[in-house]
Structure 1
């Protein structure tokens, strides 16, 4: 990363799973700029906030693309997640135990299992959990965007789904994403990529916004 580069931060969509060429690799080939993929499966903003290598790479990057990640996999006032494997539930706080004294947390290992168990136990009490997660998400996303710098494209991969948690990214609403728009250069909304074709579509959608940021950065450098 000693030269020109574009950084990608995100969860499963950015990581790409088993694909040989997730969309950061496709964009590298398209734009001819080195692309550094820091995507982590099931990550939230929390995975990147305290990483000094990521912070430095973003500050030095031409552009940083940040995926809109879900609200379930981050620590908050009700429960704590693993600092790197953010989908792993570690422990419930005293506040959550007070709200849900009837729930046994000992056998719960993952955040999605936790949230489904809480919703099943009591729908009305789950509203408190949902609101807390959304507050925590907004704070962490703002902190992450402030940390990575001003040259940011926000990628919003929208999945399909029903049920108490809705579609991915979990518990994130359009209003929550729109509130971040003033902090970024562009917001790119795409269907969540689940295949090679999906990643090609994401790369195509991101190419022009990234080019626009590169052009703006070139103008600043030559001024």
Structure 2
């Protein structure tokens, strides 16, 4: 691990905006007047505490600018609701989309903040009928909400989960339909996609292997990067953070996970770029 001894906050992320989007991304900003690749995703795509996140590693190998559109705690809603950002995505030669959890989206039971999708805004009448004993004014974040609902009634909570999963599939298809470039889905997590979704403390929350496979016809490919026990044991080795950020840094995936993601993505993207280049000259 590497500490910022002077307490300046660790890495210089050079936050930047693209177009009129209100979201801030990791910089420096890439030029959009030529060819580029986009990486769309959440906290792991942003690469907090990671000196060289997978997007930067892919850029170094491809020789094309890679626009890092990682947004911490994003759900699909954050990107679907930002027309300016979708224009940036639409101009890419290829797009990497990190698979995001299903909890951070507005749905039949609750509403979330349009940009900070992890923030719970309010319960719907359907939620209040399903959980009449719960005081929803106590919640500010979706994760806390879901943990509580599961503890109150696992049976009723399953109904909420089913709706979240169905909404996730619909919105992913909607988002993919708005991206003209070929898309590679990236599963970047500490466990592989399976029949059961990751636990409530893991990401991408509530997303199963079957949900991922249901999108295969809508994407150019699906890539998985799952660090093993040895990689996970590295913890914060190679990360850069201040002493006050140590606990937060320990909750993220290790540097080795970014190595794995880049190694898996580079051949897939090279093939896509070569294919699109050939098609342009036909």
Q: TM-score, normalised by structure 2?
A: 0.76
Consecutive aligned runs of 4 or more in structure 1 exceeding 4 Å deviation = 160-164
Indicate conservation of the 8 Å contact 2:105/2:111, yes or no.
yes
> Out of 203, 209, 212, which is 1:168 matched to?
203
Residue in structure 2 matched with residue 196 of structure 1 by the alignment: 255
Q: Alpha-carbon deviation of 1:159?
A: 2.7
1:184 and 2:213 aligned: no
Higher mean alpha-carbon deviation, 32-41 vs 17-26, is at 17-26
Identify the residue that residue 133 of structure 1 maps to in structure 2: 164
- Counterpart-to-counterpart distance in 2, 1:185 and 1:160: 22
Shift of the 56–49 alpha-carbon distance from structure 1 to 2, 3 Å rule, reads: same
Measure, in 1, the Cα distance between the counterparts of 2:105 and 2:48: 21
Can you list the C-alpha shifts for 1:175-194, whole angstroms capped at 9, x where unaligned? 00000001111100111671
Structure 1 residue ranges without an equivalent (≥5): none
Contact kept in structure 1, 2:199 and 2:206, CA below 8 Å: no
Q: CA deviation at 1:53?
A: 2.4
The answer to whether the Cα contact below 8 Å between 2:225 and 2:257 also exists between their aligned partners in 1 is: no
Matched-pair contact (CA < 8 Å) for 1:119–1:164: no
Matched with 2:49 is 18
Q: Secondary structure at the match of 2:137?
A: coil
Contact 2:81–2:114 (Cα < 8 Å) also in 1? no
Instruction: Give the alignment partner of residue 120 of structure 2, picking from 72, 89, 110.
Output: 89
Report matched runs for 1:1-223 at 5 Å. 1-160=32-191, 165=200, 167-191=202-226, 194-223=253-282
* Residue 166 of structure 1, CA deviation: 6.4
The number of aligned residues is: 223
| 19-28 vs 87-96, greater mean Cα deviation | 19-28
Cα displacement (A) at 1:171: 0.4
Q: What is residue 6 of structure 2 aligned with on the other side?
A: none
SS in 2 for 1:3: coil
Whether contact under 8 Å (1:150, 1:183) holds in the other structure is no
CA–CA separation in structure 1 for the residues paired with 2:216 and 2:253: 25
Deviations 1:158-217 (A, max 9, x none): 334998526421000000000000111110011167122221111011000000110111
**More helix per residue:** 1
CA RMSD of aligned residues (A): 1.7
Greater gyration radius: 2
Q: What is the TM-score normalised by the length of structure 1?
A: 0.95
